[in-house]
């Protein structure tokens, strides 16, 4: 029987590095040169099917612009299983910002979080300011996954999300369902989904083994 997992993925990185574009490419296969700066949705979902039959569903949270004046709420990081920290390979300052976000994640997020550092806009390699060696070295030092991507051409996008999907089930407990329930703990079992009314909350993990 195939295994199914659902994970919360948060996006981080300086404004205009292409966080939303990366997700839109991954989720919808689209790219828009002139898109506005926020996605306009609570979160997007996309499922990755792995070769061994495992399906990994990502619940992808965009910053909704709240990173711009350093006003991301703690709620954003809660129970995040993985984070994609994006920088722009044509802006060396954006890698510095990415380092800050990674420090913030290491401070705020669950210690088991999987972090991928992602150098976006690889189609603009002619204007490159961040070398692959520099970014890769940093990623290795911090134990991060690393890739270069182009949301515009699609290069590397599916690949990095697939790599995250492969790494996740082995390192993090699966989320029981959308929302912050932690499967296996009392809290995960008794979390209430406000969108599901019921007379009894005994359904879920407890019944029909």
Partner 1 sequence: MSDLEGNFDVIILGTGLVESIAAAALSKAGFKVAHLDNNSYYGGDEANLTLDELARWADNRSTPLEKYEKISSYLVAQRTKFTSITRSSAVPDHARHYSISLAPSLIPSVGPFISSLIASGVSRYGGYRLLERVGIYSSSKGLQNVPGSKGDIFKSTLSLIEKRRLMRFFKFATGKFESSNELQGHEQTPFPEFLQSKFSLPQEIVDAIVYALAFCASTADVTLHALTRLRNYFQSAGRYGASPFLVGHYGGLGEIAQGFCRVSAVNGGVYILDKKTEDITPPSTSADKFVAHLADFPSPLTAGVLIAADDQLPESLQPLLTKAQNTDESLMARCIAIIDQPILFPPVLSSEGLSGDGVNFAPVSSGEEDAGGQSSASTRLASALAEAPLVDTSIIIFPPCSVEGGSSIKVAQAFTTGAGTFSAPEGKYVVYVSIPIKDGEDPEALMEPYLNTVFSLASVSEPLFKVAYVQHISFPSSSTPTIDLPPIFVTPALPPHVAEISDYANSAAESLFNRVVDHLKAKIPQAWTRERSGEEGGGDGDVFAEIMVPMWPPLGDEEEAGEDE
Binding site for partner 1 (CB under 8 A): 38-44, 62, 64-66, 68-71, 73-76, 78, 178-181, 185-187, 189-192, 194-195, 197-202, 206, 209
Report the alpha-carbon distance of residue 53 to residue 4 in Å, rounded: 9
Q: How far is the CB of 3 from partner 1 (least distance, A)?
A: 22
Question: What's the min distance (Å) between Cβ of 30 and partner 1?
Answer: 13
Choose between 36 and 133: whose C-beta lies nearer to partner 1: 36
Give min distance, CB of 198 to partner 1, in A: 7
In DSSP terms, 55 is beta-bridged to: 4, 49
Task: Write down the least CB distance from residue 37 to partner 1, Å.
Answer: 9
Question: Strands 114-120 and 55-61: what pairing?
Answer: unpaired
Shortest CB 29 distance to partner 1, Å = 15
Residue with smaller CB distance to partner 1, 44 or 86: 44
Query: Which of 76, 91, 81 minimizes the C-alpha distance to 116?
Result: 81
User: Which tokens go with 29?
Assistant: 């296969």
Residues in the chain: 209
Residue nearer to partner 1 on the CB measure, 74 or 143: 74
Taking the least distance from each CB to partner 1, the nearer of 4 and 185 is: 185
- Cβ-based nearer residue to partner 1, 73 or 126: 73
Q: Tell me which DSSP letter residue 8 carries.
A: E
Give the span between the Cα atoms of 110 and 77, in whole angstroms.
Answer: 8
Q: Please tell me whether residue 69 adopts helix, strand or coil conformation.
A: coil
Cβ neighbours of residue 102 closer than 8 Å, sequence gap 6 or more: 85, 115, 117, 142, 144
Q: Which two tokens stand for residue 79?
A: 């129970």
> Smallest distance, Å, CB 108 to partner 1?
8
Place of tokens 């790219």: 31
CB 56 within 8 A of CB 81: no
Nearer to partner 1, 71 or 170 (CB): 71
């Amino acid at each position: 029987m195939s295994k199914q997992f659902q994970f919360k993925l948060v996006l981080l990185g300086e404004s205009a590095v292409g966080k939303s574009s990366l997700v839109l490419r991954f989720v919808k296969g689209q790219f828009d040169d002139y898109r506005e700066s926020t996605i306009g949705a609570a979160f997007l979902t996309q499922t990755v099917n792995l070769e061994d039959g495992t399906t990994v569903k990502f619940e992808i949270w965009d910053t909704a612009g709240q990173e711009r004046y350093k006003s991301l709420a703690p709620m954003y990081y809660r129970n995040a299983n993985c984070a994609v920290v994006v920088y722009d390979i044509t802006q060396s300052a954006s890698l510095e910002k990415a380092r800050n976000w990674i420090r913030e994640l290491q401070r705020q997020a669950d210690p088991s979080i999987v972090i991928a550092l992602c150098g976006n806009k690889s189609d603009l390699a002619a204007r490159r300011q961040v070398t692959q060696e520099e970014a890769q070295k940093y990623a290795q030092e911090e134990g991060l996954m690393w890739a270069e991507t182009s949301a515009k051409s699609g290069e590397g996008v599916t690949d990095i999300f697939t790599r995250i999907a492969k790494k996740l089930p082995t390192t993090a407990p699966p989320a029981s369902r959308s929302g912050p329930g932690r499967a296996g703990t009392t809290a995960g079992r008794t979390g209430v989904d406000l969108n599901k009314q019921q007379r009894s909350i005994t359904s879920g993990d407890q019944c029909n083994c």
